[in-house]
Each structure stands twice: as structure tokens, then as C-alpha cells.
């Protein structure tokens, strides 16, 4: 049984040996997630994901994997330590050195803690000769990335170590690559729609990737570092970085532009043959000639999506998760020890849990801290943002027993008999879990 009583959820926001300046607590999601024991700071810009955050993350990764399988992308894991020679070959080591973590091994060989894997995956591709018949090839991973942020902030939204889903595609030529690029972008749109937080896709700046075309996925949020320009006339959107001066739409010349602060949660790039040429990756084409494959890369900020969606949906003191990645969909609150409804509650809680488990799998948690009043636990369940809370209160003593169901998105409670409760929850949840 998933139990809140046994859950590791330290709720004091500051651990003893960490210097934590209160002025860093600038975002709502960061404050709530720390206070409620969902994340915990390890050091400046470094966070533990505690059991509730980890469950949310696992759900998100499940959604990502499913959509990647649908388009034929193959999941791998690449090393986090990257030999710096690979980055010397592409010239990237000189360009962005201040953001990188460089480490030496005992033989003084230099490594990077992976910020991104273009070089590594291209080297992997080149290690085994390919023919045009094996293309397009899409390889992805969900892995740890590092960035030496000058000013990490917003908790897991901008940290020094984070989880990314990064995908790399190899195609014969630009036409075929554009087809693959669009296919992956559509899969990304599906992932974001499934998560359920409003997102915006705009033309992006290519930055350190060096390609010639890119798109970004953003969650609109006041605390975001990016500013998006969206044309109200034709709908074209771009990152302000692309044209810091212009207040005119590059597509239709309209000056009716809307500015939105946002958090970047995904980025896709056309890379061309920059990496394949630099690292001598080739495939043999139909006529037998060896050519560098045309590459694209695609990133999703996995841990950032968790923080950013909580940031977008929550209020000052209550977390709201997107239903799709809520750590648990249903929380059960049995009666307090010694209360008049305790017997009825005790008789029913296990069968309720088992009924639910048959239908909703392990997506249920019981707040079995029965030394606490129902009221106190309900307040906490609301704060934690469980979409549905089933309370076994006074009406358990009626015949038949009545269960109180609280719904987070309507902020309302209703009483149900068991069979009606199950039917209602089935209706509300099954297609969305
Ligand atoms: Zn326009």
C-alpha cells in the first residue's frame, strides 16, 4: 500500500549544512515544493527529487517513451562523462567553456560532465558504417545534464544538474531530415498536449548548437527568463533573442505584437552536417559514395517540465499538478483513531484500496496518519495537489456507507456510495492516467 505515513518527505525547507539565502525563494513552485517535502536542496542549484517528485518524473518519462516509440525512436543511454577531445574536434570546447564542468581523471585526461550529446552520438554513429537503408535513425536518452549556472534559480527550473530527454536524428539529406524534424516536433506537441499545461511553440535562436533553424517550446510564466513575441495578426511567434530590437512581425510586418514571459521547456534544432563532417561520420548512399548524414537534435527539459508545470498551475499556497503527471491521482483519507467512524472506516479502507488498485493500478496513496484529524489531512492533501481525495468521514456510519470525494480542479466535495464513487472516478480518470 502506498502510504503517506511512511513516505520520506522532510518538510523543513532548509537542511543544516546548506547555506540557503531566503531571497533565492523567488518562485511559487520552488517554495511550495520545498515546504511540502517534494524536492529538497542539496547545495546551491542542486536538488534532490523526493518520492512525490520522482513519481511525477516517472510518469512524465513514461509519456515521453510512449510517444518516442510511436515514431520509431530508439532509447539508449550515453555516458555522462564526455572525453573533451570530441568537443575539441567540433571547436565547441573553446566557445562555451564558462558554462561547462571540466574534470580530469587520474591520468590527467580531460572530460566534460555532459551538457549535451551531439558529439558523443555522432561519434557513436561513426563507429559503425551505415548505409542509406539504415536511415533515418533516431536515437534518444533521458539522462543527467550539467550546466555551471552563474545564478541558478527557481529550484528545479534552473539548476546546475538536471534531467533532459535528448534525441538525435540522422538523415540522408535535408529533405528527408525536414520530414523527420517535423515528425519529432509533432510528437513533442503530442507530449505537451498530453501533459496538459498550455504551451507555446516559437521560432528560436540556435545559440550554441550552431544550426540554422530551430524551434522552442515554452510554458508562459511571469518568472520565466525568456520573452516571446507573438504576432496578433498572423500568429507567428519567436523568441525575443532573435530580434531584440524589432517590434515588427517578420512574416506579415504587423506591429500588433504581444510580449509573453516564458520558461523554455523544449528546443529542436536543424544541425545540418556540422557535427557529422567534423567527426567524420558517414553513410554510403545509393551510388556507393560516402556522405555525412544530415542531423537534427531535440531536447526536452524533463525535470524542468515538472517544476515549470507546477509553477504555471499552482496558486500561492496550493499545488496543482497537471493530472497526467500528478504523483498520485487519488488520495484516501481514512477516519481518525478513536473517532466514531473509525470502525466503519477500518472495515472498508483495505477493500476500497484493493478495488481502486484493480482499476487505477498503483496510482493511489493512503494518508494513514490516523493520529491526525481528517480536517488536517484534507488540508494537506489539497496543498499537495492530489486531483481526487476520498475521505472516510462521519457518513461512513450511514447505511450504506457514504464516501466524500473532494476534487481539486472544482474545489468541491460530494458524497457517494461505493459503486457510484468507483464509477464516477473511472469516468474521470481512466482516459487521463
Ligand atoms: Zn504576423
Query: What is the whole-number distance in angstroms between the Cα of residue 234 and the centre of ligand 1?
Result: 4
Query: What is the whole-number distance in angstroms between the Cα of residue 233 and the centre of ligand 1?
Result: 5
What would the pLDDT profile of 325-346 be if each residue is shown by its tens digit?
A: 999 999 999 999 999 999 888 8
Query: What is the whole-number distance in angstroms between the Cα of residue 193 and the centre of ligand 1?
Result: 24
pLDDT of 13 over the 80 cut: no
What would the pLDDT profile of 391-426 be if each residue is shown by its tens digit?
A: 999 999 999 999 999 999 899 999 999 999 999 999
Query: What is the whole-number distance in angstroms between the Cα of residue 245 and the centre of ligand 1?
Result: 16
pLDDT of 366 over the 90 cut: yes
Q: Is 417 left (phi over 0), alpha (psi -120 to 50) or beta?
A: beta
Ion ligand 1 — residues with CB < 5 Å: 231, 233-234, 236, 249, 251-252, 254
- The predicted structure's pLDDT at residue 25: 60
Query: What is the whole-number distance in angstroms between the Cα of residue 231 and the centre of ligand 1?
Result: 5
14 falls in which pLDDT band (50, 70, 90)?
Answer: low
Query: What is the whole-number distance in angstroms between the Cα of residue 257 and the centre of ligand 1?
Result: 8
Q: What is the mean pLDDT of the chain?
A: 92
- The predicted structure's pLDDT at residue 96: 72
- The predicted structure's pLDDT at residue 243: 74
pLDDT of 193 over the 90 cut: yes
- The predicted structure's pLDDT at residue 20: 54
Query: What is the whole-number distance in angstroms between the Cα of residue 250 and the centre of ligand 1?
Result: 7
Q: What is the mean pLDDT of residues 269-284?
A: 96
Query: What is the whole-number distance in angstroms between the Cα of residue 266 and the centre of ligand 1?
Result: 23
Query: What is the whole-number distance in angstroms between the Cα of residue 301 and the centre of ligand 1?
Result: 29
- The predicted structure's pLDDT at residue 256: 92
% of the chain residues with pLDDT over 90: 80
% of the chain residues with pLDDT over 70: 94
Query: What is the whole-number distance in angstroms between the Cα of residue 237 and the centre of ligand 1?
Result: 8
- The predicted structure's pLDDT at residue 22: 53
Query: What is the whole-number distance in angstroms between the Cα of residue 260 and the centre of ligand 1?
Result: 16
Amino acid at each position: 500500500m502506498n502510504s503517506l505515513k511512511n513516505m520520506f518527505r522532510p518538510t523543513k525547507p532548509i537542511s543544516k549544512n546548506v547555506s540557503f539565502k531566503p531571497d533565492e525563494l523567488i518562485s511559487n513552485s520552488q517554495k511550495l515544493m520545498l515546504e511540502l517535502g517534494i524536492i529538497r536542496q542539496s547545495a546551491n542549484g542542486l536538488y534532490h527529487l523526493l518520492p512525490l517528485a520522482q513519481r511525477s518524473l516517472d510518469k512524465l518519462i513514461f509519456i515521453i517513451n510512449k510517444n518516442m516509440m510511436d515514431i520509431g525512436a530508439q532509447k539508449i543511454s550515453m555516458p555522462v562523462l564526455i572525453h573533451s577531445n570530441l568537443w575539441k574536434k567540433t571547436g565547441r570546447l573553446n566557445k562555451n567553456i564558462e558554462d561547462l564542468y571540466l574534470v580530469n581523471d587520474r591520468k590527467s585526461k580531460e572530460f566534460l560532465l555532459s551538457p549535451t550529446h551531439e558529439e558523443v552520438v555522432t561519434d557513436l554513429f561513426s563507429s559503425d558504417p551505415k548505409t542509406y537503408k539504415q536511415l533515418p535513425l533516431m536515437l534518444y536518452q533521458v539522462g543527467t545534464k550539467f550546466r555551471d549556472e552563474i545564478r541558478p534559480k527557481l529550484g528545479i527550473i534552473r539548476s546546475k544538474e538536471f534531467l533532459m530527454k535528448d534525441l538525435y536524428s540522422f538523415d540522408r539529406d535535408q529533405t528527408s531530415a525536414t520530414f523527420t524534424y517535423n515528425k519529432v516536433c509533432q510528437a513533442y506537441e503530442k507530449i505537451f498536449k498530453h501533459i496538459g499545461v498550455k504551451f507555446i511553440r516559437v521560432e528560436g535562436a540556435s545559440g550554441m548548437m550552431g544550426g540554422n533553424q530551430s524551434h522552442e517550446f515554452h510554458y508562459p510564466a511571469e518568472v520565466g527568463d525568456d520573452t516571446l513575441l507573438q504576432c496578433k495578426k498572423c500568429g507567428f511567434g519567436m523568441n525575443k533573442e532573435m530580434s531584440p530590437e524589432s517590434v515588427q512581425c517578420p512574416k506579415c510586418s504587423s506591429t500588433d505584437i504581444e510580449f509573453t514571459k516564458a520558461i523554455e521547456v523544449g528546443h529542436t534544432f536543424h544541425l545540418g552536417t556540422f557535427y557529422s563532417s567534423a567527426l567524420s561520420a558517414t553513410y554510403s548512399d545509393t551510388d556507393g559514395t560516402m556522405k555525412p548524414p544530415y542531423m537534427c537534435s531535440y531536447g526536452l527539459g524533463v525535470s524542468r517540465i515538472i517544476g515549470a508545470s507546477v509553477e504555471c498551475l499552482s496558486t500561492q499556497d496550493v499545488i496543482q499538478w497537471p493530472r497526467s503527471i500528478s504523483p498520485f491521482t487519488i488520495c484516501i483519507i481514512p477516519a481518525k483513531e478513536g473517532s466514531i467512524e473509525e470502525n466503519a472506516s477500518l472495515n472498508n479502507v483495505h477493500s476500497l484500496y484493493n478495488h481502486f488498485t484493480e482499476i487505477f493500478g498503483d496510482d493511489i496513496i493512503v494518508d494513514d496518519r490516523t493520529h491526525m484529524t481528517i480536517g488536517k489531512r484534507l488540508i494537506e492533501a489539497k496543498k499537495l495537489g492530489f486531483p481526487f481525495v476520498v475521505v472516510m468521514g462521519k457518513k461512513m456510519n450511514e447505511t450504506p456507507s457514504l464516501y466524500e470525494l473532494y476534487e481539486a480542479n472544482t474545489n468541491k466535495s460530494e458524497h457517494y456510495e461505493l459503486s457510484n464513487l468507483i464509477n464516477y472516478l473511472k469516468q474521470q480518470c481512466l482516459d487521463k492516467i
